[in-house]
Amino acid sequence: MSKQSRMFDEDEPEIRKNIPLEEAKRFTNKLLIQSNFNNFEVISVVGSIRRKRKTVNDIDFLIITSDEGWRQLRNYLLGKLKAKKVCAGDKIQRYILDGIELDIYRATKDTYGITKLIRTGSAGHNVYLAKLAISKGMRIKYSLGVVKDAKVIAGSSESGIFTVLGLPWIEPELREVIKGKPMWELK
């Protein structure tokens, strides 16, 4: 690739795409084992890995942690692991490590379920659930949960969200939409 066609500055790393699931899982497990995540109340792998896609384009984590734990995570990734920071805010940190994009999302106990649901995806499934909520007089607010009459009625657990939407538990690997229909309806 020529310098002119590169999307990044000279010191920007290439980002790998279409990483085989097993390779992504090994990378994720190695990162979890090597890292000191003692300051996290909860850490979960979400996104394409949780949906067991054959290939993934990034690795997504969801955590509940204190402000100090959030800062320590950033310092660890930038310092010890020498990750390249893409963005870092109060609810998301994004890095490139060994050519792999890491997206780390932060939730509270109250928003853990909605954040886990949304960050697991797929995007098409999220849209399907949002439309279903609207049809039942509710809204899905990604930062809060399921809202009805200006009150949050579910958000701390995925199962609670499915329940208020009138759905059974849906396995992450079935959270895809094909030709406008969710996979779990096609089974």
**pLDDT recorded at residue 13:** 66
Q: Report which secondary-structure segment, H or E, holds 185.
A: helix 183-186
Is pLDDT of 119 > 90? yes
In a domain, residue 64? The reply is yes
45 and 72 together in one domain: yes
Predicted local confidence at residue 175, as pLDDT? 97
Q: DSSP state, 7?
A: S
Token readout for 17 is: 């795409």
Cα separation, 187 vs 180, in Å, equals: 14
Q: Average of pLDDT values for 132-138?
A: 98
Is residue 75 domain-shared with residue 92, that is, in the same domain?
Answer: yes
Residue 9 lies in a domain: no
What's the pLDDT score for residue 8? 41
Q: Are residues 71 and 144 in the same domain?
A: no
pLDDT at 11: 61
Mean pLDDT of 11-21: 85
CATH of the domain at 62: 3.30.460.10
Q: Which of 47, 74, 106 is the last residue of a domain?
A: 106
Same domain? 36 vs 77? yes
Is 118 domain-assigned? Answer: yes
For residue 56, what pLDDT is reported? Answer: 97
Q: Please tell me the predicted confidence (pLDDT) of residue 152.
A: 98
Domain finish residue from 56, 75, 106: 106
Residue 38's pLDDT is 66
Q: Select the highest-mean-pLDDT range: 6-10, 88-92, 159-163, 178-182.
A: 159-163
Q: Is residue 69 part of a domain?
A: yes
d(CA 99, CA 109): 32
Report the pLDDT value the prediction gives residue 148, as an integer from 0 to 100: 97
Q: Are residues 126 and 55 in the same domain?
A: no
Contact 90, 106 (CB under 8 A): yes
Q: Tokens 């009805």 appear where?
A: 148
Task: Say how far apart CA 31 and CA 10 lie, in whole Å.
Answer: 26
Instruction: Summarize pLDDT for 161-181 with one digit per residue, the tens.
Output: 999 999 999 999 999 999 989
Q: Tell me which of 106, 129, 162 is where a domain ends.
A: 106
Q: Which of 131-135, 161-165, 182-186 has the lowest mean pLDDT?
A: 182-186
User: Residue 8: inside a domain, yes or no?
Assistant: no
Same domain, 154 and 171: yes
- pLDDT band for 36, please (50, 70, 90 cuts): low
Is residue 4's pLDDT more than 70? no
What's the domain range around 93? 19-106
Residue among 19, 182, 161 nearest 102 (CA): 19
Please state, for a pLDDT cut of 70, what percent of the chain lies above it.
Answer: 91
Averaged confidence pLDDT in the chain: 90
